[in-house]
Copies of this chain bind each other. A is one copy, B any other.
Amino acid sequence: MTENSKKQTEIAELGEFGLIQHLTEHLTLQNSSSEKGVGDDACVLEPGNRKVVVSTDMFTEGVHFNLMYFPLKHLGYKCVIGAISDILAMNAVPTQILVSIGISAKFSVEAIDELYSGISLACQNYGVDLVGGDTTSSMTGLVINVTAIGNEEENELIYRDGAQNNDLLCVTGDLGGAYMGLQLLERENEVYKVNQQMTPQFEGFDYILQRQLKPEARSDVKGLLKELEVKPSSMIDISDGLSSEVIHLCKQSNKGCKLFEETIPMDDQTKRMAEELSINPLVAALNGGEDFELLFTVPIDQHDKLKNNPNITIIGHMTDPKEGVRLVTTGGSEVALTAQGWNESNAE
């Protein structure tokens, strides 16, 4: 918990409906497709002739976040980013979110306000309306579920299943930063638990901390690709780590792929922190997750439009499915790519 100097109001003082009113009274709607927001049994949307896309994501305390070092405002922001990233991965425009929160008695109204200020900021930054939700109590920790809604014309949507043989595999931004930021926060938290006089050593690692604590969604990529006159054949966002997303694309498109280790974009801070902690940076990029970059495939004849673009890196190409999903290491050997789900990554 990060706010201990200010006044703390118990949620029971407001009651459930008082809390909901308190949290929603300042909401204004910015999208024309948001006809009716919070305040009725359901929100009402008017998508016009466009397709509606919907995705939902759950975030649970102790699994997705540790409140010892994750400020509630940042948490609210990040949960929205994670949800709208799925809409962006359809090449659609995110327009609305609905947010359910389960809160235990330890949270004050001020704490929930912090959470909502992050949610509101993300809504504002991405032009998204908060149109509904549910506020309930939880016997244990904090749970947040964000349902994100977007829309787009049919021929603009990009699915996971459209990749073709020889298509180039591309990724935006850089990978592994969010994971190394998390490792840094965990390390400093361990130090702090032993000695609360120690000041955390974060210097020189602002980028990877930001990647973990205040990530952004790639809402710019849609326009970028339009400008380049490139239409991807398939797309997915990177929330669970590059490995599992590549495997998803291959599986859904019924293709294999060759991914080249040396081309995987990583920031210097990511590599430096990995070195400090004796972690192979490749593990951060492949299995780390939460980078919220976009992974997509494009026909090979689009190569010249993409090469040298500072926002996009070509990291491999699609193959016949019988060739499998392969990682070509810097040393030149080939290994099968494997995915980590949350069972492994959160086992600790």
Q: A47–B56 contact, CB under 8 A?
A: no
Q: A51–B41 contact, CB under 8 A?
A: no
| A203 interface residue per 8 A CB criterion | no
Residue from A43, A132, A137, A346 having most chain B Cβ neighbours under 10 A: A137
- Choose one: B44, B98, B157, B339; the contact of A52 (CB below 8 Å): B44
- Choose one: B16, B132, B147; the contact of A342 (CB below 8 Å): B16
- Choose one: B102, B143, B147, B160; the contact of A41 (CB below 8 Å): B160
Q: B58–A143 contact, CB under 8 A?
A: yes
Query: In the complex, what's the smallest C-beta–C-beta distance from A151 to chain B, in angstroms?
Result: 9
| A80 interface residue per 8 A CB criterion | no
- Choose one: B51, B87, B137, B160; the contact of A46 (CB below 8 Å): B51
Query: In the complex, what's the smallest C-beta–C-beta distance from A181 to chain B, in angstroms?
Result: 20
Query: In the complex, what's the smallest C-beta–C-beta distance from A104 to chain B, in angstroms?
Result: 9
**Complex CA–CA separation, A99 to B102 (angstroms):** 15
- Choose one: B145, B252, B346; the contact of A137 (CB below 8 Å): B346
Q: Which of A91-121 contact B (CB under 8 A)?
A: 92, 96, 98-102
19 CB contacts below 8 A, A to B, read A15-B344, A36-B159, A40-B252, A42-B54, A42-B150, A44-B51, A45-B51, A45-B53, A45-B54, A54-B96, A56-B134, A57-B100, A58-B100, A58-B145, A59-B136, A62-B140, A137-B342, A139-B140, A140-B141
